[in-house]
Amino acid sequence: MTFLDCVSRISARMPPALLVLLALVLPQGQACAETRYPGKAVRIVVPFAAGGVADITARVIAERLGVKLGGRFYVENQPGAGGIAAARTVISSPPDGHTLALLSNGTAISVSLFNKLPYDPLKDFVPVSSLGFFDFVFATNADSPFKTLADFIVAAKAKPGSLNVGTINVGSTQNLSAELFKTVAGIDFVIIPHRGTPEVLVSTMQGNLALMIDSYSAMKGNLADRKIRALASTGPVRSESAPDIATVQESGVADYDVVSWNALFAPAGTPPEIVKILNQALQEILAEPDVKKRLLELGIEARASTPEEISARLRSDIEKWRKVIEKAGIQKQ
C-alpha cells in the first residue's frame, strides 16, 4: 500500500491539518502500518470442538479472509456449555478487530437456557455478517413403516406418547426442534436425549427410535448408504443441499420453521470501519462458487448478510426459543 492509499483510507477519520502533520513527522511506512487492518493475526473463537459444522465453516472463512485481507486469520476452539468460555475470551479482548467470535443459533438458545449467562450477546458483541444457514433433517430407520412425515404424524395422533424421537442433549437446537414439532403439529411423543449424534444414529438404525432429528451433514453418509431414510427437512423451503427432501411444512405442518445459522461477531466497541472491512470481505468470499460448493457439501448454504440483518435474526431467535423452552418446561441450567 502506498502512502497516498493509506491517506485515502484514513482521511475520513482525521482532520486535514493532522494528516499534513502526520505526513511531515512520520515515515510513510509507519503511517500505513498503524492504520492497516489487520495489523496482526486475527483469531476467530469458536465455541465448539474441532471437526464440527461450525468449526469447518470458520476454517474455510478464516483461510479466505487471510487471502482477501492480506493477514493471518486462524480458528481457536473453546467448547463449553452456553459458549461461555468462548464469549468471555472475546469480550475481554481489545475491540480492535483482532479477536472475533463465531455466534450461532445456539447463542440465541443459551439466553433462555441458562440462569446466569455471564454475557449478553445483544450488548457485548457487534454483528459483522452471517456465514451460513442450515436445516435439520427428520429421519427414520430404513425399514420403518413411515414413508413420509405425514405417516409419523398420523401414528403419533393415533397413539399419543407411544413413539420415541431421538435428539442430542436437552437444550440443543435439535432437541428444541423436537419440542417445537410437538407443539406446532399438535402431537405427543417421547423425546429421548442422547450424549451425541453417533448414539442417536445407532439407536435409529437399531429401530429403537421412530424418528431422529439432526443436521444433514451428520447423517449424510448413512442416508447415502440407505441405513436411514429422510422424511423431511426443517426449513421453510427445500434445502439446496438436499432438494429431494420435502419440508415439514410440505408434510402438513404449516407453521414449522427451523433454520440454524453461524455468524461472525466482534466485541462491543469495535470500530465501525473494521466491521465494514470484514463485512465487505465476507460478502465477496461467500459469493465465490467454490466456497459455496464446499459449504453446501456440509449442508450449509453460504450467505452473507448486513450487520443489521444478522442482529435482527439473533433477536428474533432469542424470543422464538424462549417460548419453546418455557412451554417445554425445560429447567434452566
Mean pLDDT over residues 27-40, rounded?
62
Q: How far apart are CA 254 and CA 98, in angstroms?
A: 44
Please say if the pLDDT value at position 25 is more than 70.
Answer: no
Q: How far apart are CA 235 and CA 257, in angstroms?
A: 5
The three grid cell numbers given for residue 39, joined into one nine-digit string: 495489523
Residue type, 297: E
Mean pLDDT over residues 156-178, rounded?
96
Contact 166, 200 (CB under 8 A): yes
Gyration radius (Cα) of the chain, Å: 23
Beta strands in 142-224 (DSSP E): 164-167, 190-193, 211-215
Residue type, 155: A
Please say if the pLDDT value at position 238 is more than 70.
Answer: yes
Residue matched to cell numbers 435474526: 313
**Cβ atoms < 10 Å from Cβ of 226:** 8
Contact 35, 6 (CB under 8 A): yes
Residue type, 122: L
Q: How far apart are CA 274 and CA 258, in angstroms?
A: 32
Mean pLDDT over residues 88-93, rounded?
97
- The CATH H-level (homologous superfamily) assignment of domain 42-133+261-328 is Bordetella uptake gene, domain 1 (3.40.190.150)
**Cβ atoms < 10 Å from Cβ of 322:** 15
Longest dimension (CA), the chain: 83
**Which pLDDT does position 201 carry in this prediction?**
96
Asked if CATH classification 3.30.43.10 holds for the domain at 136-233, the reply, yes or no, is no
- What are the distances in angstroms from CA 145 to CA 154, 209, 251, 265? 12, 12, 16, 45
Mean pLDDT over residues 173-200, rounded?
96
**Which pLDDT does position 35 carry in this prediction?**
65
Q: How far apart are CA 320 and CA 326, in angstroms?
A: 10
Mean pLDDT over residues 135-144, rounded?
96
**Which pLDDT does position 80 carry in this prediction?**
87
* Average pLDDT in the chain: 90
Cis peptide leading into residue 38 (ω within 30°): yes
Contact 43, 71 (CB under 8 A): no
**Which pLDDT does position 5 carry in this prediction?**
42
Domain ranges of the chain: 3-33, 42-133+261-328, 136-233
In three-state secondary structure terms, 313 is helix
Contact 79, 47 (CB under 8 A): yes
Residue matched to cell numbers 466485541: 267
**Which pLDDT does position 1 carry in this prediction?**
39
**Which pLDDT does position 37 carry in this prediction?**
96
Contact 81, 112 (CB under 8 A): no
Please say if the pLDDT value at position 14 is more than 50.
Answer: no
Q: Between vectors from CA 149 to CA 144 and to CA 150, what angle results, nearest 5°? A: 110
Same fold, 42-133+261-328 and 136-233: yes
**Which pLDDT does position 100 carry in this prediction?**
98
pLDDT tens-digit map of 272-328: 999 999 999 999 999 999 999 999 998 999 999 999 999 999 999 999 999 999 999
Contact 258, 234 (CB under 8 A): yes
Please say if the pLDDT value at position 13 is more than 50.
Answer: no
Q: Between vectors from CA 268 to CA 267 and to CA 272, what angle results, nearest 5°? A: 95
Q: How far apart are CA 298 and CA 192, in angstroms?
A: 25
Phi-psi region of 171 (alpha: psi -120 to 50; beta: other; left: phi over 0): left
Prediction pTM value: 0.85
Categorize the per-residue pLDDT at 51 as very low, low, confident or very high, splitting at 50, 70 and 90.
confident
Please say if the pLDDT value at position 32 is more than 60.
Answer: no
Share of the chain above pLDDT 70, in %: 89
Which residues are paired to 242 by β-bridges? none
Categorize the per-residue pLDDT at 33 as very low, low, confident or very high, splitting at 50, 70 and 90.
very low
**Which pLDDT does position 10 carry in this prediction?**
42
The three grid cell numbers given for residue 319, joined into one nine-digit string: 424470543
Mean pLDDT over residues 140-147, rounded?
96
Contact 119, 84 (CB under 8 A): yes
Q: How far apart are CA 302 and CA 133, in angstroms?
A: 7
More confident residue, 62 or 28: 62
Please say if the pLDDT value at position 8 is more than 60.
Answer: no
